[in-house]
Structure 1
Amino acid sequence: MATITVLLFDFGGTLDGPAHWLDRFLASYRAAGIEISRAELDPAFDHATRIGYGATRVVARFGLTDLVRFLVGHQFEYLRKSGPEPLRKVLDDAGAAGRYRFVEAVTNSFVRETSIGLAHSREVVGQLRSRFKMGIVSNFYGNLDRILEEAKLDRYFAAVADSSRVGIFKPEPGIFETALKKIQCAPESAAMIGDSLAKDCAPARKLGMRTVWLRTAAQSGDDASAADITIRSIDEVAQIQW
């Protein structure tokens, strides 16, 4: 078995905090006083994500706060038109000024939690940099380089494969191959670390990489055998015996 010399990380839900973005948005909505279930927020989240992926030219210049505000704004637009009736009424009654305050409250809550997660990951990857080359493979909006620079994480990663820049989205193998090519590493000498079995572990394993599942929540229907190693915290990466 080849020695692992390269670690590739997912970004959202892995390096920026121990939860999927949908779950963190849900917590931020509730913290802002908006009663909504995960199932009710899910289509609004997907709607905003699709818009973000299609707006790379605009989003590419955004830092974290502007990106989150952009996504939350589109989530609210969806919820106002197609959300549950009680919430539609709340948003209509709030008026433009009230909706703006809601958007800002959700945005600030999400950014605050994300910033804490990024600061913690900076400590973790700082401990790993002497042992491994590192890269990121992420379904993102074309501005991941800006986010990493803002969080002072950019200097730790020799390769960043942002799907909206690469034009390939996980779980397609090409995005992983792009990162491996940038970092000049064979798959068998690399490990992929992410919070999704289907999008991170399964495709990476098919390419011959070692796989680490950051398990932050149950994933029904996915094959846990796609993960060679399961961890509960990003801190555990430093303790893995490859």
Structure 2
Amino acid sequence: MKLKLLTWDVKDTLLRLRLPVGQQYHAEAKNRGLQVDPASLEASFHQAYRTQCRLFPNYGLTQGMTSHQWWLDVVTQTFYLSGVQDDRSVQPLAEKLYQDFCTAHNWEVLPGAREALEGCRNIGLKMAVISNFDRRLEEILRQCNLDKHFEFVLTSESAGIAKPHLGIFHKALRLAKVSPHQAAHVGDDYVNDYKAARLAGMHSYLIRAMRGTKLQEQGVPDEHVIQSPEQIIPRLAVDSFNTICAEE
């Protein structure tokens, strides 16, 4: 059966941060008279983020949190771990950073992403987003001029379910009104994107700069690995005739 829907992950698939988090936090802190080492902020951010994800998965939605508060807590804890423990300084800084990460100022489109989306649209594919992102994603995509390509944007916050839970893929399929074998997903994470989509019955492709031994051990065929977004066009052209149409 012919492919009807292509869903995309966003972070590190279509968009990436312009600068590492530690550098962006450092710059904003410096603007407010706070001197904090960017390397320390980078390490502290990853520690705070991992802890927050473990204690309050998917933005703490089932525990009564909002994604806004979830991120403010991450930023506050990041600065706390880096030695800045003055709430009067950190709270407005955290709010400013939350707003900044909603803009194209902090995000850039990956090379080949615009060409990939234009190409998919030109061949008549319906496209959508499935992302473990919060409610800011639609505005970020709009500011980066990518929103026009998508039928809908399904975030883990709006769905109430995060990848790799199969429910978020099933919800996207229901919204698009297509069967799993009529859809494919593209992302950069083996578990959240490639494996989960296949378990949901979809086709999937993994974006990786190099294939690597680990992917071989995980059984990801060469033809399911692409090095950049625009490589999806020739890959779909091949698979549409060899794999997908063979299922009709």
In structure 2, the partner of 1:64 is none
Give me the whole-angstrom Cα distance separating, in 1, the residues matched to 2:95 and 2:213. 31
In structure 2, the partner of 1:210 is 203
Check whether the contact 1:28–1:110 (CA below 8 A) recurs between aligned residues: no
Q: Spell out, residue by residue over 1:179-224, the C-alpha distance to the aligned partner (whole angstroms, 9 max, x if none).
A: 1111122111211100111111111111221111112589998864
The alignment status of 1:129 with 2:129, answered yes or no, reads: no
TM-score w.r.t. the length of structure 1 is: 0.70
Structure with higher Rg: it is 2
Deviation at 1:145, TM superposition (A): 2.8
Q: Within 5 A, what are the aligned runs for 1:133-212? A: 133-212=126-205
In structure 2, the partner of 1:75 is 74
In structure 2, the partner of 1:53 is 59
Check whether the contact 1:28–1:109 (CA below 8 A) recurs between aligned residues: no
Q: Residues 125 and 197 from structure 1, CA distance in 2 versus in 1: closer, same or farther, beyond 3 angstroms?
A: same
Q: Which runs of 5+ in 2 are unaligned?
A: 29-36, 240-248
More deviation, 165-174/150-159 = 150-159
In structure 2, the partner of 1:15 is 14
Q: Residues 224 and 159 from structure 1, CA distance in 2 versus in 1: closer, same or farther, beyond 3 angstroms?
A: farther
Q: Counterpart amino acid of 1:13?
A: D
The root-mean-square deviation of aligned C-alpha atoms, in Å, is: 4.0
| Percent of aligned pairs sharing the same letter | 22
Check whether the contact 1:118–1:151 (CA below 8 A) recurs between aligned residues: no
Q: Which runs of 5+ in 1 are unaligned?
A: 60-66
- The SS at the match of 1:152 is coil
TM-score w.r.t. the length of structure 2 is: 0.68
Q: Residues 206 and 175 from structure 1, CA distance in 2 versus in 1: closer, same or farther, beyond 3 angstroms?
A: same
Give me the whole-angstrom Cα distance separating, in 1, the residues matched to 2:151 and 2:131. 14
Aligned length: 222
In structure 2, the partner of 1:41 is 45
- The SS at the match of 2:122 is coil
